[in-house]
Amino acid sequence: AQTVTQSQPEMSVQEAETVTLSCTYDTSESDYYLFWYKQPPSRQMILVIRQEAYKQQNATENRFSVNFQKAAKSFSLKISDSQLGDAAMYFCAPTEQGAQKLVFGQGTRLTINP
């Protein structure tokens, strides 16, 4: 089974600064998707950004962007101009078995300091 590693259990950043959350995985599949989800204290899992593994171009979504290194199996999330509302647990999740399920990392708790 695939393992997803988020090596930073906690991160903190000053409001308006930039922060990068790291993620590595070990899939044996050639075609898959990768997602970053955020989970605020309310527990609702919210999609932040997604990346198709066959695309070389890194995905961006407003203040959120990824650095996808397929050969290194690395998928980091960069948050620019951090806002208080960005505070949450962030989970990296590649798909597995023909994209029929997500495999989640342990999460990174992001704190935004005003």
Binding interface with another protein (CB under 8 A)? 4, 32-33, 35, 37, 42-47, 50, 52, 91, 93, 95, 97, 99-107
Q: Which is nearer to another protein, 53 or 79 (CB)?
A: 53
CB of 17 to another protein, least distance (A): 26
The CB-of-39 to another protein minimum distance in angstroms stands at 9
Are the CB atoms for 47 and 101 separated by under 8 Å? Answer: no
Task: Tell the smallest beta-carbon distance from residue 28 to another protein (Å).
Answer: 17
CA distances from 11 to 53, 60, 70, 82 (A): 26, 21, 24, 12
Nearer to another protein among residue 32 and residue 68 (C-beta): 32
* CB of residue 30 to another protein, shortest distance in Å: 13
Comparison of 19 and 53: residue with beta carbon closer to another protein? 53
Closest-CA residue to 77 (of 35, 31, 34, 22)? 22
For residues 97 and 101, what is the distance between their CA atoms, to the nearest angstrom? Answer: 7
Residue with Cβ nearer another protein (13 or 45):
45
